[in-house]
Amino acid sequence: MSGVTCTSCGVVVRLLRTSSAFARSNRPKPFLNTVTTTLTQRGPHYHLHLPTSLQLSSPQAMEAASASSRVSAVSNGGGGLTRFPLSPSNDLVIQKGDITQWFVNGATDAIVNPANELMLGGGGADGAIHRAAGPDLLQACYNVPEVRPGVRCPTGEARITLGFRLPASHVIHTVGPIYNVDGNPQASLRNAYRNSLSVAKDNNIQYIAFPAISCGVYGYPYDEAATIAISTVKHFANDFKEVHFVLFSPDICNVWLNKASELLKH
């Protein structure tokens, strides 16, 4: 089994999964090269913040890594990454970055697409996800049956497809509320998060990454959106190994970090 040694402490990081886990052509590979770059070009003990699809060389190292990584903030090249404990074994992870590039293992991970009710692509993160996934995602969305003319996924509900060319294995599509149009935007946004998490759980997803749903052109106030998002995730604390928020805007990321610090005090 291949391994890479941490330049700070000598811990050897070994891949738990064989290369067959990344056999599909749209998976980033070879994954070991990413690990090598991570350990040699990032900060001290960066292995503490690698995905849980990696294994450290000794139980003592694993225990130390787990303890250290649960309240950590590090640079990951695209922005900060911060972990907050949701439960004794599960974390909420907030980072600035591009959600189309996010993945953990390419098998039990999913990103959430802030779609529209038609589910055939759009602007912002929705358009970026469709471009990164390729035309097969559009066809998969087209195959989702309409619940009424022009609506495949009503506001607050969620649907799941494969990720195709994305590094994550699945995409969960949800529709957030337009803040100044929806009659009860708080309930609709809460439903979008809750139903996305429920669909992920039903499909054996262990790692899920959200954008800031409705915080773009739909105009949802950041602070209120962060409160709803993090509070809803807390109710699923024992259902996932990690729940991520991958946020493109530094302003939104800062609001999420402050709100997580407030709501996840232990």
Instruction: Report, as residue numbers or ranges, the catalytic residues.
Output: 126
How far is CA 40 from its chain centroid?
Answer: 25
What distance in Å separates the CA atoms of residue 175 and residue 189, rounded to the nearest whole number? 8
What distance in Å separates the CA atoms of residue 224 and residue 226, rounded to the nearest whole number? 5
What distance in Å separates the CA atoms of residue 42 and residue 159, rounded to the nearest whole number? 37
Altogether, the residues listed in the chain come to a count of 266
Q: Report H helices in the chain.
A: 31-41, 59-69, 124-133, 135-142, 185-202, 222-234, 250-263
What distance in Å separates the CA atoms of residue 77 and residue 88, rounded to the nearest whole number? 28
- Residue 95 has φ and ψ, to the nearest 5°, of -150, 150
Is the preceding peptide bond at 177 cis, omega within 30 degrees of 0?
no
